[in-house]
Amino acid sequence: MISNVKRIKLFFAPGLEIEFVDRVRGIQQVFEWGEKGTGFPIVVFGPEGCGKTSWLLQTVEILKELGFSVIYFNPMRKQFDAEIGVNDLKKKALEIVKQASSEYTLARLIWSIIDFAKEALKHGRKRLAIIVDDAFQYLECRGAAGFVKGMLELIEHPVESYERIVAIAATSEGLSRYEISRHLWAELMPMWNMSREGFEELYEGVPSPKPSFEDVWRFTGGNPRMLSMFYQARWNVDKVINRIIDRKKLKSFIASLSSDESRWLFEAVEDPDTLLTRERIPLMNKLVELNLIVDTLPSRKEYLWIDQPPPEKDLELGIGMDIAWQTPLYREAVKRTLKSGK
């Protein structure tokens, strides 16, 4: 069944599209949800650029093939697609997209997804999928949790009977995840960067000349967005790191740290698990807020993860047992900024 999946083409860089590759286990999970539905909303979190959006776009296509009416919303891209087989609702979807002119209206539109799904059920849609990508940054933490609760209400207390509902929301934003995890409203599942084998397949699709795969793997840790940035920077790793330093405002962040916090951060560069002590938790939370690390990683049992989990520990890539740098490039950017501030 997986071998017959039509792979979508995805934007990789200006002038370059690459076919969706790898994520075999992640695709299998979509088929499993398609057969039974999701008893709880699935909230997917993981490193920035690890491929959540690509996987979700592939998920949309799979669910359509399985006969689902699909509502997909990505406020970052201002993309709202509603393949629900009802012309009036499709027209409404187009009107909603036109309204997406500011973060305020985007936040309002996120809430409209629940009402839109209810209307689809009222119109007799028996298989419904709600896919919301990278939306929580437009909502306050409580708002993000409330939206997840709304999806759960749709599953547990529908306005009309249905056959199956698949509800998935993805985020790289850490603070909202804390609020969501306080309640039993969703199943939180992490996704990590691509496996070595899958990432090599992606690497092979990038035009030459290019550095060796070993060098690219060591720099990116399997993160496809970092590979795209690396390619667009003509493989100049210093250029990529300097962009990260600027975008994450690492100079001002590190200048704000106490001497103890700077020392702890130096230690975390070598082993992120050193952050997991009482006095270092506030520093860890700051790094989560900056989307530099992923904290409290679950055990590496496959059923707890979307697709393949990371190794239990790989300090060369910045992966600890409980905490990990999202990509080695983030760790290197922090390391260089720390050294330059000495």
**pLDDT digits over 249-298, tens only?**
999 999 999 999 999 999 999 999 999 999 999 999 999 989 999 998 99
Residue 98: pLDDT band with limits 50, 70, 90: low
Determine the straight-line distance between the first and last CA of the chain, rounded to whole angstroms: 56
Cα separation, 118 vs 60, whole angstroms: 19
| pLDDT of amino acid 233 | 97
Residue 27: pLDDT band with limits 50, 70, 90: very high
pLDDT at 90 over 70: no
Residues 6+ apart with CB under 8 A from 55: 23, 26, 191, 306, 307
| pLDDT of amino acid 171 | 83
Average the pLDDT over each of 58-67, 140-149, 155-164, 320-329 and give the range with the smallest value.
140-149
Structural domain spans, the chain: 2-190, 196-340
| pLDDT of amino acid 114 | 86
| pLDDT of amino acid 310 | 96
Are residues 228 and 16 in contact, defined by beta-carbon separation less than 8 angstroms? no
| pLDDT of amino acid 89 | 64
Cα separation, 297 vs 304, whole angstroms: 10
Mean pLDDT of 294-311: 94
| pLDDT of amino acid 109 | 73
Which residue in 328, 292, 320, 338 sits closest to 215, CA to CA? 328
Q: With respect to CATH, is domain 2-190 assigned 3.40.190.10?
A: no
